[in-house]
Amino acid sequence: MQFLKGVGPKRADKLNKLGIYTVEDLLKFFPKEYEDRSRFSLLKESPIGEKASLEVEILGSGQILKPRKNMSILKVPFKDNSGQGYLTFFNQEYLKNKFNIGDIFKIHGKINKIGMELQVTNPIFEKKELNSNLGRIIPLYSLTKGLTNNDILKIMTIAVKENVDLLQENLPLYMMHKYNLMSIKDSIKNIHYPINSEKLKQAQNRLKFEELLILQLGLFMIKSSSTTDNKGISFCKFKDTKKMINSLSFKLTNAQTRVIEEIEKDMDSDKQMNRLIQGDVGSGKTIIAAIAMFKCVKSGYQSAMLAPTEILATQHFKSLEPIFDEWGIKCELLIGSLTPKNKAKVLEKLKNGEIDILIGTHAIIQEGIEFDRLGLAITDEQHRFGVKQRAILNKKGNNPDIIVMTATPIPRTLALILYGDLDISIIDELPPGRKEIETFAIGPNMIERMNGFIKKQILEGRQAYIVCPLIEESESLNLNSAQEIYTELKDNTFKEFKVGLLHGKMNSKEKDEIMQMFKNKNLDILISTTVIEVGVNVPNANIMTIYNSERFGLAQLHQLRGRVGRGEYQSYCILINYSKNKIARERMRILQDSTDGFKISEKDLEIRGPGEFFGTRQHGLPELKIANLFTDIRILKIVQKEALEIMRIDPNLERLEHQKLKIEIKNMFKDVGEDLILN
C-alpha cells in the first residue's frame, strides 16, 4: 500500500485503521454517501438551511469581525445573477488574501439568513477555471484521525488511474448481459468518480448485485455441505403421534399441520435436521415443538428445549409437563435458580436416561451436562444459536436434530440470508377464535383519559401491562423511565390498586416472583421494561400500554402487543407517541391497521431503513461493503433466483464461468470461519 504515490508509512498506518491494506482494498473502499455539487443554483432560489452550489463574483476584500475573545468572522461580499450575499468563515482570518474584487469562484456551502442578509457559511470554494471538488458529485468516505476526505480523494485518484484496468470480471458474461450490468472497471470508476447520477446508480447496482450474489452463493454452499456431511438420526414412524395430536383439547391450524409434516419428514430421514420455525405471536409454535419432542422420545431418544429466560423456560415446562405426563413421558426443568442439590439430582437422572425431556435456559448446553441419548434440541426465541453451539450439541448426542423457533417475522428473502443454513417453515395462520387486539395511538395529552379506561377495566377484573423504554430516568434522552412511572402510578394515579415493577436489572428469582404474582392475579398492573417482550402467558391481562412507543421498532411493538389477547376478553394496545415526526405517526398507523407480523416487519424495513431493523453483525455474517440487506431487497430477490439456478446446474462452482465467484466466496467468508452464525 505504501508504494502507491502519496502513501508513505504513516499514511499507510492510518489507512490500515480503515481496513485498507492493499490497492484492491482501497478500490473497494466505497463511499458512505455522496454530495451532489454538480448542479448550480442561484442564491435567491436556494433553500435556507440547505447546502447549495453557486457561481459568484467577489465584490470586495474581506472584512474581519471579532464579536468576542478567541473568535473571528471573515465576511467576503459577493454577487450572482439573483442578488448579493456574504461568504462567512469562522476563525479563518488567513483566507482574507484568497479573495480579490472581480474574481469568479465556484462555491458550495450551507445557505443561512441572518436578519435580511444571506450568508454561505464556511463554504468550499475554488476558482472557476479549476475543476476538482466543485461542479461534480463528490464521494464522502468514512474517515479516521489524521485522514481527511480530500486525502482519500487524492489517493483514490491515483489508485483508480493506475490500477482500474487490471481488474477482472467476477460475474459470468451471460449474467451481465441478462441484467445489463456495468463492467467492473466502469463500476469502480463511477463509484469513486461518478460522471453523473445515472452512472452512479448503475455502478452501485452492479457492485451490490455482485456482493449479494457472492454472499448468497456462499451461504447456499455452506448449507449444502452441512446437509450432505451430517448424518443424523432416522426416527421411527409412529401412529402414537397422530393419537397424541388428536388427544389435544384444540384443533391444529392448517399451517401447524403443514409445519409438523415438514418436521416429520426431516425426522424420518437419516440427515440431520436444521430447521427454523417462524411464527407470529400466538401462532402455536410451542405445541409443534411438543409434537416433535414426543416423536423423538417415542423413538427412544431424549429431547432438550432451550428458552432465553427462566420465566419462559418455566412457562414452557408448566404448560408441557401435563401433556407429556399423560403419555408417561418424564419432563424436567433445569434453570439457574435451582438449588445445587436439586440441580445435581436432575443432571444425574438426565445422564442415566431417567429424564425424557429437559426444558431450561441456555445452561443446558454447558460443559458437565451429559445426556444419555440426545436426539432433538429446540431453541426458542432467536437465540444466537449457531455453528459453535450446534457443534457442542452434536457432541452431547449423535448429531441430534435441531429446531430453532422465532416469533420475529422476517420476510422470506431476508430469512434465506439471515438463517442461511436452515430450512425454513412458516406458520402463517393464527388459531381461530382469537379476538383481534384493538390498537390505539395517542399523544401524551390523552394519558389521563387512558388511565381512566385502565381503571374501568381493572374494576371489571382485568389486568394491565405498562411498558417503558428505560429503568432509570435519562438526562440525555427525554424518555419515561419504568422506575419514575412506577412511583407516580403506585403512589397517585392507581393508589387503590396493586402495582408491581419488573426490569432487566433484577435477578432471575425476583423477576420470576413478580411475574408469578401478576399471573396469580396478586397484581393488577405490571410496570415493566421490554423484559416482558418474550414472556409469560397471562390470559386475564387485556391491556398493553407502551410509553414512548416511537422509540421501539414496529416488530418489537408487535411482539409486546402479543402479550395480551391470550384470553377470552377483548384486549387493547395503547401506544403513547411523544413524537410529532411524520414517520413516527406513519409507523403507529401501520400497527393500528395491521396485526400481521410479516406485513409489519416488511413495513418496518421499508420505513426505518438500513441497519435499524436488527444488526446483521449478531448473525455473524460477513460484513458487506456496499449492499444493504434491508434496502436492497429488490436486488436480493433477483440474486437469490440466480444463485439457486447456479447451485442447481453447478453446485461446486466448477464451470469456468463460475470459478472466479468461488474465489470471491472464499475471500468473503475467510474471516468468518468457525464463528459463522447463520441463525
- Read off the pLDDT of residues 218-269 as tens digits, 9 standing for 90 and up: 888 877 765 545 678 888 876 678 889 988 888 999 999 999 999 999 999 9
Q: Which of 514, 428, 509 is nearest to 465 (CA)?
A: 514
pLDDT value of residue 151: 87
Higher pLDDT, 256 or 604: 256
**pLDDT confidence of residue 674:** 46
Residue 610 or residue 234, greater confidence:
234
The values of phi and psi at residue 356, to 5°, are -90, -40
Q: How many C-beta neighbours within 10 Å does residue 178 have?
A: 11
Instruction: Give tens-digit pLDDT for 432-460.
Output: 767 789 999 999 999 999 999 999 999 99
Question: Does residue 4 carry a pLDDT above 80?
Answer: no
Distance CA 393, CA 384 (A): 14
Cβ pair 137, 92 in contact under 8 A: no
Strands (E), 247-384: 274-279, 302-306, 331-334, 357-360, 374-380
Mean pLDDT, residues 473-500 taken together: 81
Q: Please, which pLDDT band fits residue 384 given cuts at 50, 70 and 90?
A: very low
What pLDDT, on the 0 to 100 scale, is given for residue 386? Answer: 56
Orientation of helix 582-593 relative to helix 597-608, angle to 10°: 170
The tens digit of pLDDT for each residue in 151-170 reads: 888 889 899 999 999 999 99
Is the pLDDT at 613 greater than 50, yes or no? no
Mean pLDDT, residues 359-387 = 79
Residues in contact with 186: Cβ distance below 8 Å, sequence separation at least 6, in sequence order: 199, 203
Q: What is the mean pLDDT of residues 97-123?
A: 92
DSSP reduced 3-state for 406: strand
Residue-level pLDDT at 481:
80
pLDDT band of residue 618 (cuts 50, 70, 90) is very low
504-549 pLDDT per residue, tens: 788 777 887 888 899 899 999 999 887 765 566 788 999 999 999 9
- pLDDT value at position 679? 37
Has residue 330 got a pLDDT over 80? yes
Mean local confidence (pLDDT), 364-387: 78
Q: Tally the C-alpha atoms within 13 A of residue 101's C-alpha that lie toward its C-beta.
A: 4
When pLDDT is cut at 50, 70 and 90, the band that residue 610 belongs to is: very low
pLDDT at 504: 75
Mean pLDDT of 320-344: 92
pLDDT in tens, 624-679: 899 988 778 889 989 999 999 999 999 999 999 999 999 999 988 876 654 444 33
Grid cell digits, residue 321:
409437563
What is the structure's pLDDT at 484? 85
Q: In whole angstroms, what is the distance from residue 473 CA to residue 461 CA?
A: 32
3-state helix/strand/coil string of 207-267? HHHHHHHHHHHHHHHHHHHHHHHCECCCCCCCHHHHHHHHCCCCCCCHHHHHHHHHHHHHH
Q: How high is the mean pLDDT of the chain? A: 86
For residue 138, what is the DSSP state?
Answer: E
Q: Residue 617: its pLDDT value, please?
A: 45
Per-residue model confidence (pLDDT) at position 671: 66
* pLDDT greater than 80 at residue 468: yes
Q: Note the pLDDT of residue 643.
A: 94
Least confident of 56-65, 342-351, 519-528, 608-617: 608-617
Q: How far is CA 617 from CA 123, 614, 676, in A?
A: 38, 9, 10
Average pLDDT over residues 208-218: 94
Percent of the chain with pLDDT over 70: 89
- pLDDT tens across 36-68, in order? 887 889 999 899 999 999 999 999 988 999 989
Q: Which amino acid appears at position 560 of this protein?
A: L
What was the pLDDT predicted at 385? 54
User: What's residue 133's pLDDT?
Assistant: 67
